[in-house]
Amino acid sequence: MTRVSKVVMLGATRGMGRALARLFAERGAELCLLGRNHDELARSAADLRTLGSPLVAVTACDLEEPAGFVAALDEADRALGGFDAVVVTAGLFATQAALEDDAALTQRLLTVDFANTVLFCEEARRRLLARGGGTLCVFSSVAGERGRKPVVLYGAAKAGLTHYLEGLDHKFRSAGLRVVCIKPGFVRTGMTDGLPEPPFAGEPEDVARRVLVGIDRGEPVVYAPGAWRFVMAAVRSLPRAVMRRVKF
Ligand SMILES: NC(=O)c1ccc[n+]([C@@H]2O[C@H](COP(=O)([O-])OP(=O)(O)OC[C@H]3O[C@@H](n4cnc5c(N)ncnc54)[C@H](OP(=O)(O)O)[C@@H]3O)[C@@H](O)[C@H]2O)c1
């Protein structure tokens, strides 16, 4: 078990990232929140201080602006006096229908959820390894487990991200880098607001509690809510002929 104590979080102003940041704060971790909306960052930081975090810094970082990643992580490093964990919950979602009709939105989503997330993780990885290791926890998705009709494009970006995280884990675990890939199922957040709800939908607070255990244990893959591990095992086993017929 490793209890991380200085955590950089990208995407903790809302949803699952926010719920996880609150758990870190309650157990006294020092935090640096990275994000694109200064007012939201300031509001979140104030909340986390009241929950018990002795230090909450905020730094500008937009996942659509990779040129800013180095400066953001340098700033986080200065603010925290070094960090032992980086958590990425920032991400972009759009429905398959919206993406099929909008090439610019598709480019944006593929860039944010895959290419730029990987570029951010590469900067984080270099810094963690330079100080002998640490934890890199990144939210991918069960959408990346199998090519599926409702998430052809979003799922492809998340599949690439999952693949990258697995490779990182294989390559750098022995050097002290603990890569934790989170695969949420359907979770009730702003991202899923208005979408039809499948069975086994979860709450961000429950997911955050499971993710924290995964981070402490350094689990390479965490499904949350846990039932999705079994749902996806079943989906992975379905023949293509069946996948072409079903709607999910
Ligand atoms: N909810 C689900 O059912 C579900 C299922 C599977 C996977 N996931 C994945 O889990 C992660 C968290 O999802 P969530 O539902 O908690 O999302 P959410 O409630 O929509 O929160 C997303 C967070 O990402 C930040 N963000 C978005 N675009 C950004 C950008 N360009 N630069 C910096 N920050 C940015 C948002 O900050 P702002 O305040 O600036 O917008 C917000 O803090 C995402 O990667 C998502 O793809 C979610």
Each of the 248 residues of the chain gets a pLDDT tens digit; together they read: 899 999 999 999 999 999 999 999 999 999 999 999 999 999 999 999 999 999 999 999 999 999 999 999 999 999 999 999 999 999 999 999 999 999 999 999 999 999 999 999 999 999 999 999 999 999 999 999 999 999 999 999 999 999 999 999 999 999 999 999 999 999 999 999 999 999 999 999 999 999 999 999 999 999 999 999 999 999 999 999 999 999 89
Choice from 9, 10, 16 to test ligand 1 binding pocket (greatest atom count within 8 A of CB): 16
Choice from 9, 92, 111, 191 to test ligand 1 binding pocket (greatest atom count within 8 A of CB): 191
CA 206 to chain centre: 15
Give the CA radius of gyration of the chain.
17
Instruction: Identify the residue whose C-alpha is closest to ligand 1 atom 45.
Output: 91
The reported pLDDT for the residue numbered 158 is: 98
CA-closest candidate to residue 47, choices 84, 15, 11, 22:
22
CA-closest candidate to residue 23, choices 210, 223, 208, 182:
208
Alpha-carbon dihedral sign for residues 188, 191, 195, 199:
negative
Contacts of 88 (CB under 8 A, 6+ apart): 9, 10, 11, 117, 120, 121, 124, 136, 137, 138, 139
pTM of the predicted model as reported, rounded to 2 decimal places: 0.98
Could you give the residue ranges of the DSSP H alpha helices within the chain? Answer: 15-26, 38-51, 69-80, 96-100, 103-110, 117-130, 152-172, 204-217, 227-237, 240-245
Contact 66 CB / ligand 1 (< 6 Å): no
Contact 93 CB / ligand 1 (< 6 Å): yes
